[in-house]
Each structure stands twice: as C-alpha cells, then as structure tokens.
Structure 1
Amino acid sequence: MAYHPYIPDRVVRITSLYSLHYFHFHEGYAFPGERHDFWELVYVDMGGVTLGDGDSAITMPHGYACIHAPNVFHRIDVDVAAKTDLVVVSFGAEAPALNEIAGRPIALNSECRRLVRMLLGEARQFCGPVLDISSQTALEPVRDAPRESGQIIVCLLEQMLLRMLRQEAAAAPQQSRRMALTDEEDIQQMLMACEEFMLAHLDGSVHMADICRHLGVSATTLKRLFRDGMQVTAMEHYQQLRLREACRLLRTGRYTITQVAAELGYSSLPAFSRQFRARLKRTPREYLSSVSDAIDEDGIWHHGRRLWIKG
C-alpha cells in the first residue's frame, strides 16, 4: 500500500533569532526608537508602556503584547507611574499572516502567557540568567546551553504567534457586531454575554478593552451598561466573579490557598489574600475555618438581589 504524506502549511516559520530580552525599566524611561528588517514582539509583564509603531501610538497595560513588522519604526515610552518589565523578542520569519495582527495591542490569553513563561525559562538556559543587556547585537548561547534550547525557543515562539493569530481571528466577528441597547431585554442579554465571557477567563487576563472587543461596544456603553444594570463597574464585577470562584475552589477541599491564588492568576499569595479580605472581610484561612457557616454567594455579591435585576 502506497502512503501519501500530508504537508502542513507553515503559517509562521521562524528562520532566525536576533534578541531575547527581559528589561526592567523605571518610570518615565523612553527609548527614542529604531527600525530593522526583522520582526519584534514586545510583551508587558508588569506596569505599562506606550509604543510607537509607525505613526501610531499604542497604549499597552500589563498582559498585552504588540508585534512590530519589519522596517517599521518603533519606540518605547514607559508609563510615568509604574516600574515596567518588558519581554522583547526579535526574530526573522516567513510569516505574511503576522501582518494581520502587527501594530496593535493584543491581550494575551492564559495559554499565551504560559508560553511566554516557558520561553523565558528556556532563554535563561540558552543565554544565561541575564537578559537585559540592551547593547547586545548578536545572540550567543552560553557554553553549557542544552543543544535543544534554540529549537525549543523557536517552537515556543511559533506556537505563541499562531495562538495569537487564532485568538484574534476568533475575536474579529465580535468586533464588527454592534448592538443597540434600547430596551431591558437587550441590556439583560448583553450583561449575560459579558458575564459568560468573564467566567471563561477567570485567570485575571480580562481588561476593559477585551470586554468591549468581545461585545462589540464602546467603553462608554459598557460603563453605562454596568452602572444601570449592576450598580458596579465591569471590572469590579469581574473581580467579584474571581473571588466567588475562589470560594468555590476552597470549599471543595481539593486546593490549597496558594493553589487557588495561582489558578485565578493572582500575582502573589499576599495580593490574593488582600483582595479576599477587602471584599469578604475575612482572610482565605478564616473563610476555610468557617466555611460551614459561609453566607450564600448571591448574598455576598448581589446583596440579596437576583442577577440582572435592579434593586
């Protein structure tokens, strides 16, 4: 029997690596800019930046990434109010599809952020622990770098770029959708769609821009929607849902407090505990000890009102 191979399309094919950086910038730092004939990925791991991409200024908070296309002039302005950590990866590629998402902010989902972490871990094995040498002009592996590291880095980067393409393609139909919020039924449907989106992303990755893009509404409309329908802001409701899920996970008895904090994307255990105490007036440990007397979740979050019904 004759076998016939299937040759998969290479939507993104990394051909070379130019730099792998993890920069720590102080507030107010500015990089005047540069232009080069290869691609560059910038990811905001902490803080926030404004990137220049050609004639565009792109504001990027924590968790967002942007791809600069070859030969496009780009620069960096770090927010004046916060220290900022950036991942910067420069690479050569045969990837015309990347032009579809280049030059705009993209909120990375949890899978893409996991790939960033894996890429950084591999980069430290490949290049050594110091990744913030801005004067570096050639990528040189350390003497004892594992032989597989270079290829693993390429595979992780390709996978992340492919997932970014898929993520943005899935969001595109939602971006073109515009709903006229004229009656109570429309408002209820929009609020339900918003909560479904939030519940699917309880790992802390959701920002206002993500919700607006998913629902196809402006930020002004979203603020009015939650003010009138929920009496809280969209992001306050998102944090409530995350903590409601934290309570549920703790009640199962299958997770430690540390595991719950990690599962829901909190930056640290103290950050999780502070927010938990601020909203529930008790620490996670105190909640566990009194879980048998825990008040009903709807009572915690909606003060006795049914969801979507104004009090």
Structure 2
Amino acid sequence: MGYQSVTLDETIHIDAIYTIHYFEYMNTFAFTGERHDFWEFCYADKGEVGITVENNYTVIKKGDIVFHEPNEFHNVTATGASAPNLVVISFRCNSPAMDFFRKKFLHIDEIERTLLANIIVEARNCFESRLDDPYQTVMKKCSSPLLGSEQLIRIYLEQFLLHISRRYLSGPVTSSKVPKTTKSRSDNEIFNHVVDYLEKHLDAHVTIEQICRDTLIGRSQLQKIFKERSGLGIIEYFSNMKVDAAKEMIRMNHLNFTQISEKLGYTSIHYFSRQFKKITGMTPSEYASSIKALSNGSFET
C-alpha cells in the first residue's frame, strides 16, 4: 500500500523560554517595570495586583491574565488589598497567531489553569532556579532533569495559548479534552463542594467525621476523590489550605504569628509553627524574612 505522510501545521510554536515564575508577593510589593523583546504574561492565581501597560493602569483579580507583547513597557504593583500569588511566564514566539494576544486582558478557565499548574510542576522538575525570585533573569537547568520535562513545558504552554485562542475566537472549546463521564463530573462537583466547605472552616479544627456529616459524603468516597484529585488525603489537603492562608496573612503584615495561629484555629503557636515548617520547610519567621528579602530585592541564591 502506498502510504503518504502528512506534515502537521503548527499554529503556535514556542521557540524559547526566558522565565517561569510563581510569586507569593507581600501586599506592599512593587516592581518598577521593564520592556523586553519577547512575550510575557501575568496571571493572578490569588488576590489582586495592579498592572501598568505603557501608560494604562488596571487591576487584575483571581483568574485574570494580561499579556505583554514584545517591547511593551509593563510593571506590577500590589494594591495593598491582598498579598497576591502570581504566575509570570516569558517566552519567545514569532507565530502570527500570537497577534490575538496583543493588548489582551482575559480570564482563564479550569482547563487553562490546570495547564499553567502543569507548567509550574515541570519547571520544578527541570530547573534548579527558584521560581519565586522576581529578580532572576536566567533559568539554570538541573543536572539531571526529569525525563521529558522541558518538552512538556513547551507542549503545555502551546496548548494553553491555543486553548485560550480557540475559546475566545471560536466559542466554547469541546474538542481538546476527553468528555467526562457522569461519575467524573460528579466527583469533580463533590471535590469543589468540599473545598468550598473547607475554605469556610479555615478558622476551625475539623475531623473527617465532621466533614462527612456536614457534606453528606461517605468517608471512603471522600478520601478516594481527594487522593485522585490532589494526591493528598483530605486532612492533609486541609492542612495545606491552612498554611496557604497563613502565608497570605504573613505577607499582608497585619497580624503577628500568635494572632494568625488563633485566627486559623490552631491549638497553640507551637503547633502552628510545627505544621508550617512541615509543609513549607521553613518556620513562619523564616518565611516572613524570605518574602521580605525577595520584596526588597536582597535575596541571594
């Protein structure tokens, strides 16, 4: 049989990565601004941040993303209303399809957020450099990166950009993901429902029994769903949520550690410190010092 190969066209091709960052900013952080000859985007994962593009200022909030085209001046300033978490990725891409992203302020969906999370995971698999240093300009590769991590970064980033383009230019995207079964949709709804419940009880000590009783979900089903969705047991997931909330409070700089411990329902400041270090690898005071050093530009690798 006379087979003929088909060359697949590329709508968007990433030529190179410059930086991949996940920032946890103080509520007073301000970056003076820059312009460079490659693309960059800034996504608000938590909180809000002020963005200046040339002479125009706007505030982006959780779920929003702004794209900076090559040679466009931009800066980032915390509004003071929150201690924001941001994803900032810069890259070189000369594909004509990138014209869509010029001057764009958009909102991303769940699929796109997952793709961003995948990029961050793979960046940690192949770069030695810290992802939270805003003054870093060179990403140093690991001596033994995880197999395929660099290629996956490019694939995920291209898919991320294509998915956004399709969604805004062609309406809802249905062909880029496998249709979910009724069970998987139900599990996702349960997961989101329980996460909402946990967010409302960050100031309390809750048990699995209490969560099951209040959400009307069986213990084994609950544990299975959280293990599949997050890789963590539900109590471990809740502990991580508490520490994330504590980190944001520390960056807001309004409460001391004892007050934060009490506000999040810890039985003592000592237990809070142990849990914080167990999850982050730093004590609350070490984390505060690290964040302040990053904000002041005095962090050293």
TM-score scaled by length of structure 1:
0.57
Quote the Cα distance in structure 2 between the aligned partners of 1:34 and 1:106: 21
Question: For residue 121 of structure 1, what is the aligned residue in structure 2?
Answer: 121
Q: Give 1:122's aligned amino acid.
A: E
1:270 aligns with 2:208: no
Please report how far the alpha carbon of residue 37 of structure 1 lies from its aligned counterpart in structure 2 after TM superposition.
0.5
Render the CA deviation track for 1:102-139: whole Å, top value 9, x for unaligned: 32221111100011111111111111483112232222
Query: Would the alpha carbon gap of residues 28 and 19 (structure 1) be closer, same or farther in structure 2, given more than 3 Å must change?
Result: same
1:285 aligns with 2:213: yes
How large is the Cα RMSD of the aligned pairs?
3.1
Render the CA deviation track for 1:188-212: whole Å, top value 9, x for unaligned: xxxxxxxxxxxxxxxxxxxxxxxxx
Q: Give 2:213's aligned amino acid.
A: R
Please report how far the alpha carbon of residue 273 of structure 1 lies from its aligned counterpart in structure 2 after TM superposition.
5.6
Quote the Cα distance in structure 1 between the aligned partners of 2:200 and 2:115: 23
1:65 aligns with 2:65: yes
Quote the Cα distance in structure 2 between the aligned partners of 1:127 and 1:11: 27
Question: For residue 100 of structure 1, what is the aligned residue in structure 2?
Answer: 100
Residues 58 and 105, structure 1, Cα contact 8 Å, conserved in 2: no
Query: Would the alpha carbon gap of residues 100 and 27 (structure 1) be closer, same or farther in structure 2, given more than 3 Å must change?
Result: same
Q: How many residues align?
A: 201
Question: For residue 78 of structure 1, what is the aligned residue in structure 2?
Answer: 78
Quote the Cα distance in structure 2 between the aligned partners of 1:11 and 1:265: 39
Q: How does 1:35-184 map to 2 (within 5 A)?
A: 35-128=35-128, 130-171=130-171
What percentage of residue pairs aligned between the two structures are identical?
28
Quote the Cα distance in structure 2 between the aligned partners of 1:287 and 1:114: 26
Query: Would the alpha carbon gap of residues 82 and 152 (structure 1) be closer, same or farther in structure 2, given more than 3 Å must change?
Result: same
Quote the Cα distance in structure 2 between the aligned partners of 1:65 and 1:82: 17
Query: Would the alpha carbon gap of residues 41 and 287 (structure 1) be closer, same or farther in structure 2, given more than 3 Å must change?
Result: closer
Please report how far the alpha carbon of residue 58 of structure 1 lies from its aligned counterpart in structure 2 after TM superposition.
3.2
Please report how far the alpha carbon of residue 5 of structure 1 lies from its aligned counterpart in structure 2 after TM superposition.
2.9
Residues 21 and 88, structure 1, Cα contact 8 Å, conserved in 2: yes
Residues 129 and 141, structure 2, Cα contact 8 Å, conserved in 1: no
Please report how far the alpha carbon of residue 46 of structure 1 lies from its aligned counterpart in structure 2 after TM superposition.
0.8
Query: Would the alpha carbon gap of residues 171 and 74 (structure 1) be closer, same or farther in structure 2, given more than 3 Å must change?
Result: farther
Render the CA deviation track for 1:209-233: whole Å, top value 9, x for unaligned: xxxxxxxxxxxxxxxxxxxxxxxxx
Please report how far the alpha carbon of residue 94 of structure 1 lies from its aligned counterpart in structure 2 after TM superposition.
2.2
Quote the Cα distance in structure 2 between the aligned partners of 1:265 and 1:132: 29
Q: Which has the larger radius of gyration?
A: 1
Gaps of 5+ in 1: 173-248, 275-281, 290-311
Question: For residue 2 of structure 2, what is the aligned residue in structure 1?
Answer: 2
In terms of mean alpha carbon deviation, does 60-69 or 131-140 score higher?
A: 131-140
Quote the Cα distance in structure 2 between the aligned partners of 1:94 and 1:153: 17
Render the CA deviation track for 1:263-286: whole Å, top value 9, x for unaligned: 4594x6521568xxxxxxx97623
Q: Give 1:58's aligned amino acid.
A: T
TM-score scaled by length of structure 2:
0.59
Query: Would the alpha carbon gap of residues 59 and 264 (structure 1) be closer, same or farther in structure 2, given more than 3 Å must change?
Result: farther
Question: For residue 191 of structure 1, what is the aligned residue in structure 2?
Answer: none
Please report how far the alpha carbon of residue 57 of structure 1 lies from its aligned counterpart in structure 2 after TM superposition.
2.3
Render the CA deviation track for 1:55-78: whole Å, top value 9, x for unaligned: 332321001112111111111122
